[in-house]
Amino acid sequence: MLEKKIPVWLDTDPGVDDAMAMALLFAIDAYDVKGVSAVAGNVELPKTFQNARDLVAFFGRKDVPVYPGAARPLFREPRTCYFIHGQNGLGDVPLPASDAPVEKKPAWDALYEAAKAAEGELTLIAVGPLTNVALALGKYGTLGKLLKRIVIMGGSATYGNATPAAEANIFCDPEAASTVFQSGVPIVMCGLDMTLKTVMSPAELDEMGRLNPTAKFLRDAAQHGLSYSQAHGIDGMALHDPTAVLYPLYPELFSGEEAGVAVETKGTITYGKTVTDLFSDKQFPFKNALVMLDVNKAKLFETVRELLARY
Ligand code: RIB
Ligand code: CA
């Protein structure tokens, strides 16, 4: 009997690891991708929107609509990561421009419509700042009940990568993240505690790149950020965003714990920190997220290679 497909939506700020996440998303037959939305993050919105469009076309899925989202965070000043993702957001590796129709509908409206149509079954995968998600939840009071769950790449139960306290996606829009964590929607948090255990070395990236032209693009796009990562003690590329895309279908690759999570929005030193009660005897009066803490790296890489080999 045909397995029912999993309806998913991807919100993203491509972004080099976002690009690999998208390649995996479209290689997974079990996913019914209802839409992709772009948000300002790694680079500005015009570039993340164009990148998302071009990547969807590059992966052979121009049938999937791509929507423009927020051009800036809810309150704080915008923050980009050119030092990792390059000027064009894809490691300065060019992609052919998509000739798919340019969607004008804002991401938050399109996401709500897809969630309503999916009748509570939509899994939202968010791998950039959570601005679009917060705006959608704020505009549509029933959205929280229409989303089955939100799988995010973001946060950390321990250290940060944008500051010593905060992970980049959360740090880019802490107020939006706080809204999402308080929304009541079940959250799976693929944070740094797990994703920094997924570093693919330069040699492993090269091996991946030999699979086919699609994998070679992903390997080439990763080169720009490698030098920055190596200068900061990480000899390779962490598969941050790919983990969030894989989690819904391959949860057995990961392990974590239910926790209460709240986002610091008033701190100066701790602004954007996801405060969890995982390692505290003082617990929050709620459990709102499944926080990923570990991953089977060998099986993760095997799954990534198997999926990319489908292109
Ligand atoms: O901290 C890693 C996250 O920040 C990833 O989503 C990466 O794409 C950047 O957006
Ligand atoms: Ca991202």
Query: Which pLDDT does position 171 carry in this prediction?
Result: 98
- Whether the CB of 173 sits within 6 Å of ligand 1: no
Q: Is residue 140 one of the residues assigned to a domain? A: yes
pLDDT tens profile 132-167: 999 999 999 999 999 999 999 999 999 999 999 999
Going by C-alpha positions, the residue among 66, 63, 52, 49 that lies closest to residue 22 is 52
Q: Is residue 290 one of the residues assigned to a domain? A: yes
State yes or no: pLDDT of 3 exceeds 90: no
Query: Which pLDDT does position 227 carry in this prediction?
Result: 87
The number of the ligand nearest the C-alpha atom of 38 reads: 2
Q: Which of 84, 127, 224 for mutating ligand 1's site (highest number of atoms within 8 Å of CB)?
A: 127
State yes or no: pLDDT of 1 exceeds 70: no
Whether this prediction's pTM lies above 0.95 is answered by: yes
d(CA 93, CA 90): 6
Q: Is residue 125 one of the residues assigned to a domain? A: yes
Domain of residue 244, CATH code:
3.90.245.10
pLDDT tens profile 240-296: 999 999 999 999 999 999 999 999 999 999 999 999 999 999 999 999 999 999 999
The number of the ligand nearest the C-alpha atom of 167 reads: 1
Helices (H), the chain: 16-27, 45-58, 82-85, 107-117, 131-139, 143-146, 168-172, 174-181, 192-195, 202-209, 213-231, 240-246, 297-308
Q: Is residue 168 one of the residues assigned to a domain? A: yes
Give the number of the atom of ligand 1 that is nearest the alpha carbon of residue 162: 1
Which secondary structure element, helix H or strand E, spans residue 275, and what is its range? Answer: strand 274-276
| Domain membership of residue 270 as a residue range | 6-308
Provide the mean pLDDT of the chain.
97
- How is residue 161 written in tokens? 């990568």
> Cβ(95)–Cβ(54) under 8 Å?
yes
Distance (Å) of CA 308 to CA 138, 196, 210 = 37, 21, 11
Q: Is residue 65 one of the residues assigned to a domain? A: yes
How many angstroms separate the alpha carbon of residue 10 from the centre of ligand 1? Answer: 14
- Whether the CB of 225 sits within 6 Å of ligand 1: no
The number of the ligand nearest the C-alpha atom of 11 reads: 2
Instruction: Find the range with the poorest average confidence among 101-110, 225-234, 284-293.
Output: 225-234
pLDDT tens profile 120-130: 999 999 999 99
Q: What is the CA radius of gyration of the chain?
A: 18
What letter represents residue 82's amino acid?
Y
- Name the percent of the chain lying above pLDDT 70: 99
Cα angle 267-289-274, degrees, rounded to a multiple of 5: 15
How many angstroms separate the alpha carbon of residue 269 from the centre of ligand 2? Answer: 23
Say how many domains are in the chain.
1
Q: Indicate the pLDDT class of residue 26, thresholds 50, 70 and 90.
A: very high
32, burial (CB in 10 Å: exposed 0-12, middle 13-18, buried 19+) = middle
> Cβ(107)–Cβ(138) under 8 Å?
no
Query: Which pLDDT does position 55 carry in this prediction?
Result: 98
Q: Residue 81: what are its φ and ψ, rounded to 5°?
A: -130, 55
Q: Positive or negative CA dihedral for 289, 20, 71, 66? A: negative
Q: Is residue 1 one of the residues assigned to a domain? A: no
Q: Which of 20, 153, 229 for mutating ligand 1's site (highest number of atoms within 8 Å of CB)?
A: 153
Which residues, in sequence order, are CB contacts of 277 under 8 Å at separation 6+? 259, 260, 261, 283, 284
240 an active-site residue? yes
Query: String of b and e for 215-254 (b: at least 16 CB within 10 Å)?
Result: bebbbbbbbbbbeebeeeebebbbbbbbbbbbbbbbeebb
Average pLDDT over residues 99-106: 98
Q: Is residue 80 one of the residues assigned to a domain? A: yes
State yes or no: pLDDT of 2 exceeds 80: no
pLDDT tens profile 183-218: 999 999 999 999 999 999 999 999 999 999 999 999
